[in-house]
Amino acid sequence: MTPSRPPRAWSRPSTSGRSSPMPVWGRPAPWPRSRTGNVTCWTGSQKPHFVKDGIALSLGVPVEKVRSIWVVGPGSYGRSDADDAAMDAAVLANAVGKPVRVQYTRDQATGWDPKGPASIHRARAAVDASGNVVAYEFTSKGFSRIDVNTNGGAPKDTLAGHLRGTELKSADGFGVPAESYEFANKRMAWETIPPLLERASPLRSAHLRDPVGPQVHFASESFMDEVAAALNIDPIEFRLRHVKDARDIAVIQAAAEKAGWQARPSPRKDQAGNKVSGRGIAYSQRNGTRCAIVAEVDIDRASGKIWARKFTIAHDCGQIINPDGLKHTIEGNIVQGVSRTLWEEVKFDLNNVTSVDWMTYPILDITETPEAIEVVLINHPELPPTGAGEPSIRPVAAAIANAIFDATGVRIRRVPFSPDRVKQSLS
């Protein structure tokens, strides 16, 4: 029996804001330097070598006196970039002269970890009499994705560092779409909101799997579908008119063929009643890797519930080394992307983050996972591998959004697509 979901309301004035609480992090702490002059830390950090550097700086000891030992833990996905528990343990062990173990409870970890940045995106386009895009502008604005560095190498990036008076110094960084649409006039830009940390906020933004990629491409690929719909053109035909990179064209065509895509404009005109279905396409690049996704969704208008039923993805990451491992990685990206798109959001009031457990921060459960994920691998032995850990999560939200539009004729421009938001949009 599936537990009922709690009611939720989106609390950020933005198109996207993400966090991903992972299993609780526990780290046996350093031995105090007062005994041996050395510091040893056991950590599940994504980057234990940087933890070593950060502890040395924090305690004022030579880096060669610090040993960081990695222990098996859950995946990071950006969660362990700050390495707060390791730094807490080092400071406490040094203060009390005893070994210290730090392990956060669920609400502590979820409440205080760095958050994926919220953002707003704007797009506009001009088309000629033949339906060709002659000008395109896209702008991203959000909190920096690097308030916290991608490692624990500096005390300023940790909670312990803040409490001990370390100077807060953030960095600016966001992103724009990675694609090969060739328009006569094209402008893409990003800007960041002044860093939260420098305004004494406890909220820190940092990396979450494919930093800002899903947010940016949710907006850009949804907009491409909007233009195609306005021109009454099939979404794939529209993309193929304007995409110029041969490998990009290949993944779009491969995904469409495998999914059995039938060319027609969106939205569908042949549906009535409470239960409707639709399909959507989205594509993107990431550091040389290309992928295109076709999503097929079922929607219950009365409840607002969406089932992302099937995904077909074509993936080109250059030379393929391990096909089975690659497929499993892509499947994991899809499932996590569905969870982030349909359920996950960080809520907070004036005092605290209020999304602190699996009831207040719900994720996709096993009954809601897709019934099928079909993967088409395109191998290029003549090219170097360009990575698969993150690219295929990038277009998931846009593909689902475009499928919702195809099914309902309604464009939802804010994530997550919770039942309450879907019902409100459809009404």
The answer to whether residue 1 scores a pLDDT higher than 50 is: no
Q: Is residue 11 part of a domain?
A: no
The domain boundary, picked from 76, 103, 130, lies at 103
* One domain, residues 77 and 170: no
Residue 199 CB contacts under 8 Å (≥ 6 apart), including other chains: none
Q: Which of 93, 112, 114, 115 minimizes the C-alpha distance to 104?
A: 112
Peptide bond into 99 cis (omega under 30): no
Instruction: Report pLDDT digits (tens) over 85-108.
Output: 889 999 999 898 888 999 888 888
The answer to whether residue 13 scores a pLDDT higher than 70 is: no
* Mean pLDDT calculated for residue range 161-181: 85
Query: How many Cβ atoms from other residues are within 10 Å of residue 106's Cβ?
Result: 14
* Mean pLDDT calculated for residue range 300-327: 98
Question: Do the strands 305-316 and 289-300 form a parallel or antiparallel pair, or are they unpaired?
Answer: antiparallel
Q: Is residue 16 part of a domain?
A: no
User: Where does 283-365 have alpha helices with state H?
Assistant: 323-342
Query: How many Cβ atoms from other residues are within 10 Å of residue 216's Cβ?
Result: 28
Do the Cβ atoms of 408 and 426 come closer than 8 Å? yes
Instruction: Report pLDDT digits (tens) over 373-420.
Output: 999 999 999 999 999 999 999 999 999 999 999 999 999 999 999 999
The answer to whether residue 8 scores a pLDDT higher than 50 is: no
Which one-letter DSSP state was computed for residue 299? Answer: E
pLDDT at 193 (0 to 100): 83
Most confidently predicted of 35-44, 196-205, 228-237: 228-237
- Number of structural domains in the chain: 3
pLDDT at 21 (0 to 100): 33
Instruction: Report pLDDT digits (tens) over 223-282.
Output: 999 999 999 999 999 999 999 999 999 999 999 999 999 999 999 998 888 999 999 999
Q: What is the residue range of 129's domain?
A: 116-199
* One domain, residues 235 and 90: no
Split at pLDDT 50, 70, 90, the class of 198 is: low
* One domain, residues 130 and 255: no
The domain boundary, picked from 199, 224, 255, lies at 199
* Mean pLDDT calculated for residue range 21-28: 38
H or E stretch at 109? helix 106-112
The answer to whether residue 2 scores a pLDDT higher than 60 is: no
Most confidently predicted of 124-138, 310-324, 340-354: 310-324
Query: Mean pLDDT lowest for which of 41-55, 220-234, 290-304?
Result: 41-55
pLDDT at 25 (0 to 100): 39
Q: Give me the CATH number covering residue 77.
A: 3.30.365.10
* Average pLDDT of every residue of the chain: 87
Cα distances (angstroms) measured from residue 159 to each of 89, 92, 235, 307, 408: 12, 13, 46, 39, 45
pLDDT at 116 (0 to 100): 86
Q: Is residue 82 part of a domain?
A: yes
* Mean pLDDT calculated for residue range 206-232: 95
Q: Is residue 232 part of a domain?
A: yes
- Rounded to whole angstroms, the Cα distance separating 1 from 268 reads 34
Give the residues across from 293 on adjacent strands.
Answer: 282, 313
> DSSP per residue over 44-105, as a string?
--S-HHHHHHHHHHHHT--GGGEEEEE------TTGGGS-HHHHHHHHHHHHHTS--EEE--
* One domain, residues 63 and 163: no
Based on the number of CB atoms within 10 Å of its own CB, is 18 exposed (0-12), middle (13-18) or buried (19 or more)?
Answer: buried
pLDDT at 120 (0 to 100): 96
* One domain, residues 222 and 151: no
More confident position, 5 or 321: 321
* One domain, residues 151 and 79: no
* Mean pLDDT calculated for residue range 40-67: 90
The domain boundary, picked from 170, 199, 228, lies at 199
Q: Which of 155, 392, 55 minimizes the C-alpha distance to 251?
A: 392
Q: Is residue 300 part of a domain?
A: yes
* Mean pLDDT calculated for residue range 279-308: 98
Q: Edge-to-edge, what's the strand order for the sheet holding 16-18?
A: 16-18, 116-127, 133-143, 185-193
pLDDT at 422 (0 to 100): 97
In degrees, rounded to 5, the angle at the alpha carbon of residue 408 between the alpha carbons of residues 406 and 410 is: 95
- Rounded to whole angstroms, the Cα distance separating 58 from 93 reads 12
Q: Is residue 5 part of a domain?
A: no
pLDDT at 297 (0 to 100): 99
Question: Which token pair is 134?
Answer: 């002659």
More confident position, 140 or 203: 140
* Mean pLDDT calculated for residue range 298-306: 97
pLDDT at 130 (0 to 100): 87
The answer to whether residue 69 scores a pLDDT higher than 50 is: yes
